[in-house]
Chains A and B, each alone.
Chain A
Amino acid sequence: MTILQVQSLIAGYEPGLSIVRGASIHAAEAEIVVILGPNGAGKSSLIKAIAGLVPITGGQVLLDGRDITTVPAHLKIRQGLAFVPQTENIFPLMTVEENLRVSGGILPRAEVGPRIEEIYQTFPDLARQRALMAGSLSGGQRQMLAVARALIVRPRVLMLDEPSAGLSPKLVEQVFARLTEIRRSGLTIVLVEQNARAALAIGDRAYVLVEGHEAHEGPAATLWNDPVIAELYLGQRRAS
């Protein structure tokens, strides 16, 4: 069942200067959808526009059939759409627990505490660091906190903008393994990535975005095994 549907989206920071130019994507329940593409293709702008952070001038965003195109950013999370930005995705001058607590603000007050404990069971490292300032965490721990922060409100769709950015290969493996685990709970994940190898390894389907719209779409394995796409758009030749 399709949860997120984006139709012919046009978006950009300045009027008349669209970065996203007619992109259409969709994601089904419990699916991991990867969005790849060369630098400047509009990948980050696409999910920021879906999240309400880049003005949309055309097209539609449907979440579970409801039109959320013009819903303000702060209300989209209430509709079940969570977003983890690439950088500055935590509040560094707040503790780990405060990051979770402030993000759980849209839950009924009585649910926040128990939900934080559930999150700590999923992310045991965070439980040990709950009193630390988030700004003192390592890059991998920050990404885990950013994901945990987004999950606290039980979203239906989780969008992540390059969660592997700045992480060592080992940490990338850990973050992506955790995303695979999280998907098992039925969560839909939309992943924008430069690290095509790691993203396609966990993805079900993928889009290759070129000049603001999708140029290719298909099962992740198919795109990864297509030598033309890999060389032209993913910036690499397959290692083997």
Chain B
Amino acid sequence: MNSRERVLAALRREPVDRTPVCNPTSVATVELMDLSDSYFPDANRDPERMARLAATSYTELGFDSIMPVFSIIQESSALGCKIQWEQKDNWPTVRMREPIYTEPDDIRIPPDFLQHPDLQCVLNAIRILRKEYGNEVAIIGKTMGPWSLGYHCFGVEPFLLMSLDDEGKTKLCLDRLKEVTIQFGLAQLEAGADALTLPDHATGDLVSGEYYARYLRDMHIEFAQRLPIPLILHICGRTVDRMGYIAETGMAAFHYDSKNDPAESMAIVKDRIALVGNINNPETLFSKGPEEVRREVYRNLDAGVNLVGPECAIPLQTTIENLKEIPLAVRDWHKEHVQ
């Protein structure tokens, strides 16, 4: 199996020759920027640089996938949010303190939405990667879910308060914003993406599992039906209280956080959805060494997790040595478990 075949098979929960190493969010680091001569913030806005930096996860780290969308700001930028582009050592962010919407009727998806330079950058980067790597490695795109877009466009606090004060209004906002998710997702599929990460930050640290069921479960089922490509849902934090719902959405995989025990999570989702994750970023990949990284990889493999990788976008100062340890540990685990 090559890397692409391995990732796609794992996303279908079919047998693989070894567990794929996957980065559904981002593994861009300062060291990788130096190696590829492609730096933030330009690597978020120039398709050539974006593709070059993204490819290092395959060429330098030995991961089985490439994810060119390092941040979560593209769609919001195209909708009109102000973006703080930052420098080499920081992530671009949406200025959520300056929201662009207050009411559902404010939501307007521009007719030329997909022509926005920040979306074109992603689409062109996917085309470049597809041309460069053909079918040897899985190219994963990213389309933001409506809950995350709600934070960006309404501001986190106003959006969360709206969700408590007025359920109908909140659902109307989500319903209108979901078209952003669909449009950008389909465009990336057309550009050549093999799978899409769909971050929708109804995180365990912010809202309950009941909230997920109330506001997002049906919408996520709709995404799985309308986007004919494997979808990898990403939600941070402790999420075991909603994994049962998530497993029934029809999405291919759930990218889960280190706050969830791998064995407990696998027991909840059973064989209804693949799990991707969940190496801890701040305490392990950033702060500790290869030995601790290896231990977390083994914990995931012992539990039967389908694709292994960091829990979320990693701190930019994470060392290459720690990241390279993930595929090394996966290979060693499989050697030790040859039947």
Q: Do A and B bind each other?
A: no
